[in-house]
Amino acid sequence: MQNWNDIYFTSRDGLRLYARHYPVPGSQRRPTVCLAGLTRNCRDFHDLATALSTQDNDGRDVYAIDYRGRGRSQHDPDWKNYSILVELNDVLDFMTMKCLHRAAVIGTSRGGLITMLMGVLRPSALGAVVLNDIGPVIEREGLARIVAYVGRVPLPANWEEATALVAEMNRRQFTGVAAEQWAEFARQVFSDEHGLPAPAYDPNLSKAITVMGSAAPELWPQYAALSHVPLLAIRGENSDILSAKTLAEMGARHPRFEAVSVRGQGHAPLLKDAPTINAVRRFLARTDADLLTASAQAAAVA
């Protein structure tokens, strides 16, 4: 049974974009916004969003957004708009539309880069941050691997082939993922069209990523813009994007930093295992303290 609401909204340049909302009516806890990786979509957050949006005193509203050209959002006729800054503007416009201020933002990979820029351009949008396998330094080897596959993965003929394909592509880094999970993961990577696998992102995205190349600038100043909020960094034990050295440096530079390592997973952790989901849940609950105190004070004044 579907436990989310579909949201369609229009970008400032007229594209029809999509998001999911996992509602918890009346929740006093910090709303959460989930931002996916480069070619990914809101389906990646379903398990986490379901766990966070429990219908009790601990539940919170969760939103997950499909960037333009991904998932159920419209493709952009100009591939040059598949840029972090344009996607950030789409996210900020959505958050403004939904009155989401001081939200908890969970950013996987590219979503984390967008979150760091959000800290620079609109710091009041952030109340807490979870960075999933991304940091100010992107390892060249991992970035080259991503550039090599974007837009070049063959379309499977059926879901059995899709399952075999994603398992083969990921099993080296994801040694801790059970074989039966790959069928579920395949339905995140590919969309379903008339019962068959279909592309889940615009292939023109490959043009945008190729322009970026196989090296990325360091983003320590942008990371520093997150210093005003508590931060949880998640790293896959086998990650080739976020190194253990960078993770340690992130901790040294941030005053309210926590870290979680996901055993047997690479880039990026799937956010489906109970230990990781519970770590995120506990972290967000701790960051709710100021919100709950403010609500209690407002109620006392009233």
pLDDT digits (tens, 9 = 90+) for 186-207: 999 999 999 999 999 999 999 9
Task: Kindly state the tokens that stand for 38.
Answer: 């480069």
pLDDT grade for 61, boundaries at 50, 70 and 90: very high
CB atoms within 10 A of CB 220: 15
d(CA 164, CA 262): 23
- Whether the predicted pLDDT of 301 surpasses 60: no
Is residue 135 within 8 A of residue 222, CB to CB? The reply is no
Q: Is 169 left (phi over 0), alpha (psi -120 to 50) or beta?
A: alpha
123 is a domain residue: yes
Q: What is the mean pLDDT of residues 285-293?
A: 82
Output phi, psi for 296, to 5 deg: -65, -40
- Whether the predicted pLDDT of 297 surpasses 70: no
> Closest Cα partner for 183 from 261, 4, 192, 262?
192
- Predicted local distance difference test score (pLDDT) of residue 173: 96
pLDDT grade for 1, boundaries at 50, 70 and 90: confident
State the total domains in the chain: 1
pLDDT grade for 209, boundaries at 50, 70 and 90: confident
185 is a domain residue: no
Q: What is the mean pLDDT of residues 224-241?
A: 98
183 is a domain residue: no
CATH number, domain with residue 229: 3.40.50.1820
170 is a domain residue: no
Q: What is the mean pLDDT of residues 68-92?
A: 98
CB proximity list for 241: less than 8 A, separation 6 or greater: 109, 133, 134, 138, 139, 142, 143, 146, 267, 268
pLDDT grade for 52, boundaries at 50, 70 and 90: very high
131 is a domain residue: yes
Q: What is the mean pLDDT of residues 120-125?
A: 98
39 is a domain residue: yes
- Predicted local distance difference test score (pLDDT) of residue 216: 85
- Predicted local distance difference test score (pLDDT) of residue 241: 98
d(CA 270, CA 147): 20
282 is a domain residue: yes
186 is a domain residue: no
The parent domain of residue 71 ranges over 5-151+201-301
